[in-house]
Chains A and B, each alone.
Chain A
Amino acid sequence: MTKPILMGAVAYDPKVVPIWDGIREYLKEVGPGMDYVLFSNYEAQVDALTSGFIDIAWNTNLAYVRTHRRTNGRCRALAMRDTDVDYCSVIVVRNDAGINSVADLRGKTLALGSRDSGHAAILPLYFLKRQDIDPARDLKLMRFDLDVGKHGDTGASEAAVLNAVASGQAEAGAVGDPFWAKALEERVINGDKVRLLWTTPTYHHCNFTALDSLEESRYKPWVEALLKMDYNNAEHRPLLDMEGLKRWLPAQTEGYRTLFEAVEEQGIE
């Protein structure tokens, strides 16, 4: 009998418990067993994965990049959410700030989420630089380093960014696109004050990461079972809604290249 998978996740919200309890129950029914442990921050989870305490880590893009760097690439992305594939960051601006193009951001205050958030800080700066906006020279940065260690999962820093732009403390701000979509859907955006200016190129977000020493016979049935979860199934739907996806997909990795470069460029450990 194969040993059940021990998975790690970061407890960024109380709903993490019902999510993984539910998925554990589902996996118990379809075959491959799983248990999970929760960490209070991604750094501890990366340590636990690289030291072999857990088999699989549910990682943010930054946690994946760190694992990859720490193991010299001897790790493997197994699966991800449909929403992780073509994630992007959104630059929002105040309508009255006179910003009509990315170039107009020069000289303005840009609000950013937590410094360890790939989508609300690291990648927006990386992609703006490729639009010839040098953060050090061209922008005044207003950082909201909230819930550091959770890599922006809580959304608290994005809420602060949006608030700063809406209230006029900052002329522009960066958030992840799911946060923006949710704000649109919940109609918390006042279209007279704040609008989307620009979206970055897409990149990958979270994935399940394993060390490449994890045998295929152990992770394969686990991943296959995960991919069979169905959003049109009433029992699966609440779990998938809480985790923010419509279906699980096999992992892709080419979309992490930009974050590898960004981490290098910005000197993030």
Chain B
Amino acid sequence: MTRPIATKIKAHYDGEDLGASEGLLVAIARLLDPLAEGEALELITENLSVADDLRIWCRRAGHRLVQAVPENGKSNIVIERGFVRRTLSDPAEWGVRIPRRGDTIDMRDWQVGRSAIIAEEAPRGGTLAPRGAAVEEGAPEIEFSIRKRSDIWANSISELYEQATSSQWVGARDIPWRELATLDEEVERSVCQIMTFLAENEYAALYVPARFIGQIHPHFSEAALFLSTVMVDEARHIEVFTKRALANGGGLGVASATTQLSLASLLEPNDFSTASFLLSVLGEGTFLDLLTFLEDHAPEQATREICRRARQDEARHVRFGIAHAKYTLEADISAARRFGKAVELRAEFLKSVSGVGALIEEALIIYAGGGMTPAALRAGTKRVAGLYETMHGNRVKRLAAAGFGIDQADHMSRLHTPNFM
């Protein structure tokens, strides 16, 4: 049999007895996709309805059924591809392979294929798609206000993300709650007040990233993903601090006006870098020293484990904060002044706050000394004074790590809120 159109045939499929609505259209659409307009697919079918069904389908899909010839109980059908492109996008990627680290696949290695191209500034219109996906024309363009890399990025961000996901723990299970026993009443009261205070601080640490995640251009998805782990961490910290306050016969303590004023000021900055600098470098940095202190002087194992686990998570948040500040300070010469100004503004705003507040300070002294006997109070007072010194010294070190000079770091550290966070 002569087939004048045979030269245009570029794809073949044997549909056996498969019906059009049983999946045959899937094969046909996929095989037609890579063809050029006018090129053809040849289909062999034993299903008698297929020729008519396809003639009808082709009309709707913008293709042309140009031949349907019966041959030994089968039909030989030729479909010519029309002018219509099914998707208005670049082709999907093919042949990309992320390298393995042993048995694992690590986010640090996923910058392969088109995803490897990270722009300094993402395009104005954003799409909710992985970086490197072939976005179809006509997809809605979403405005994301954080679209400069230096406004959100940190060099270690993928590594921090992997650490975060592999270090998740469960508040209900991983704290030795059964170790809880009745404590000296003043000590228990202090634990409850401190746990209330810690939970308050973690609400700030939860809500600050929450304000920004929705503004991050998905081109910098690593940042959005990492900050999501921060939020999960903070949620878990709020959970365990609250549980501890409620668990041993005490209850939730006082949320003081000065603490609330200090935390509310963390929600003020409208750019992520400044907010992150105040929260993660200065606030959570200081918080690390507090958690170490609470771990060292914990009256029982559950509280010790809570503080230990929270501190490990917070250390990661601080590492991100420092790495992001460093990235921003290197990319943007105005950032140092912006951060300095923010610290001064916050100090000005909080000038009525002269200390951590009597309730917290008393609780820390009793907690660290182990009770309210004269000997305990003497020891506790001394330890808390030592804590303040440690906090200042470590803050200066973290600011230096972010890229500030020692004098500037010392000045900024002294302006930091006495309320720790």
Chain A residues at the B interface, C-beta cutoff of 8 Å: 82-83, 86, 88, 90, 177-178, 180-185, 187-189, 191, 195-196, 198-199, 231-232, 234-235, 237-238, 244, 246
Contacts and interface: CB of A to CB of B under 8 A. Distances in A.
Given A83-B59, A86-B59, A196-B49, A184 B21 contact: yes
B55 interface: yes
A187 B55 contact: no
Interface in B21-48: 21-22, 25
Contact of A199 (B56, B61, B62): B56
21 contacts: A83-B59, A88-B56, A90-B56, A177-B59, A178-B60, A180-B56, A181-B59, A181-B61, A182-B60, A184-B57, A188-B21, A191-B19, A191-B20, A191-B21, A191-B49, A196-B49, A198-B52, A231-B83, A232-B83, A232-B85, A235-B138
B52 A196 contact: yes
Contacts of B21: 183-185, 187-189, 191
B184 interface: no
Contacts of A82: 62
A181 B60 contact: yes
Interface of A is mostly: mixed
Q: B52, B61, B84 — which one has the most chain A CB atoms within 10 A of its CB?
A: B52
Interface in B1-32: 19-22, 25
Given A189-B21, A246-B82, A181 B136 contact: no
Contact of A246 (B19, B20, B25, B84): B84
B53 interface: yes
A232 B52 contact: no
B138 A237 contact: yes
A185 B28 CA distance: 11
Nearest to B88: A234
B137 interface: yes
A81 to B, nearest CB: 11
A149 B25 CA distance: 34
A83 B64 CA distance: 12
Contacts of A88: 56
Contacts of B62: 82, 231, 246
A230 to B, nearest CB: 9
Contact of A232 (B25, B61, B84): B84
